[in-house]
């Protein structure tokens, strides 16, 4: 009859210890996978630059925007569908390679400047600084920022709409406004996404990595855009 006994109650504090271990594991795996995802991103950018894909995208911004949206949202959907198995990791890395290809357009533009390499390194350093700051706040503060997520997602949608509209309007002021707002919105969204992992709101490291990667990617791209406009030299 022993197999029908009620399971013994866990010792006091064991649930809390288990939850902390799960959160730490998810956070650690998220950081590792995020670091790994930078490799295909760099490879994708190199392929885009060496093959001339960046020039094709620059010549057809409308078609490039459609390819970007279809490819990015399609791959993100596939990643989320397979986030509970190893295929999800492979799809995430494929997604980051695709994002690297798309990144080659602005990289080609900036590298055409005399100080392009320095601007790219400065944008990378600025992105790393934002990430470090938000990661520190997410792991140390007791304030909950999750209530900002809905407003931030609305802001992201508005940014996408404004970016698509500016393909046809070609307004420099609108482009700069979108870039400045994007850096701010995605910096706060990065804080929200990291805190969600720290607090145990996100228990899947593939989904967590996808969210954090998108935040970091958009911060870098828009910082690079601003630096190219204000700090670029012919």
Q: How far apart are CA 212 and CA 159, in angstroms?
A: 18
Number of Cβ within 10 Å of residue 215's Cβ equals 25
pLDDT of residue 214: 96
The answer to whether 65 touches 164, Cβ cutoff 8 Å, is yes
Q: How far apart are CA 27 and CA 208, in angstroms?
A: 8
Q: How far apart are CA 219 and CA 187, in angstroms?
A: 7
Quote the Cα angle for 14-19-22, to 5°: 125
Mind spelling out the 3-state secondary structure of 23-62?
A: HHHHHHHHHHHHHHHHHHHHHHHHHHHHHCHHHHHHHCHH
Q: How far apart are CA 222 and CA 178, in angstroms?
A: 8
| Per-residue exposure over 171-208, b if at least 16 CB sit within 10 Å of its own CB, e if not | eeeebeebbebbbebbbbbbbbbbbbbbeeebebbbbb
Q: Each residue's pLDDT tens digit in the chain (234 positions)?
A: 444 334 444 444 444 556 778 788 888 999 999 999 999 999 999 999 999 898 888 888 888 889 999 999 999 999 999 999 989 999 999 999 999 999 999 999 999 888 889 999 999 999 999 999 999 999 898 888 888 888 999 999 999 999 999 888 888 899 999 999 999 999 999 999 999 998 888 889 999 999 999 999 999 999 999 998 887 666
Residue 148 contacts by C-beta under 8 Å, 6 or more apart in sequence?
A: 188, 192
pLDDT of residue 182: 96
Give domain limits for the chain.
Answer: 14-231
């Amino acid at each position: 009859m022993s197999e029908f006994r009620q399971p013994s109650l866990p010792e006091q504090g064991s649930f809390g210890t288990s939850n902390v271990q799960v959160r730490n594991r998810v956070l650690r795996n998220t950081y590792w996978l995020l670091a790994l995802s930078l490799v295909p991103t760099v490879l994708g950018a190199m392929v885009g630059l060496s093959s001339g894909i960046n020039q094709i995208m620059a010549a057809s911004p409308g078609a490039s925007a459609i390819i970007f949206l279809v490819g990015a949202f399609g791959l993100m959907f596939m990643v989320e569908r397979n986030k509970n198995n190893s295929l999800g990791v492979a799809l995430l890395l494929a997604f980051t390679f695709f994002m690297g290809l798309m990144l080659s357009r602005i990289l080609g533009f900036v590298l055409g400047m005399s100080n392009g390499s320095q601007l790219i390194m400065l944008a990378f350093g600025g992105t790393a600084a934002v990430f470090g700051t938000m990661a520190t706040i997410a792991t140390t503060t007791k304030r909950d920022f999750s209530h900002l997520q809905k407003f931030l997602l609305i802001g992201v949608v508005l940014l996408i709409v404004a970016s698509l509209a500016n393909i046809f309007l070609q307004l420099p002021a609108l482009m700069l406004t979108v870039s400045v707002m994007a850096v701010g919105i995605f910096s706060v969204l990065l804080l929200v996404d990291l805190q969600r992992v720290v607090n145990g709101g996100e228990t899947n490291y593939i989904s967590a990595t996808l969210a954090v990667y998108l935040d970091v990617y958009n911060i870098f791209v828009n910082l690079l855009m601003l630096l190219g406009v204000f700090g670029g030299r012919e």
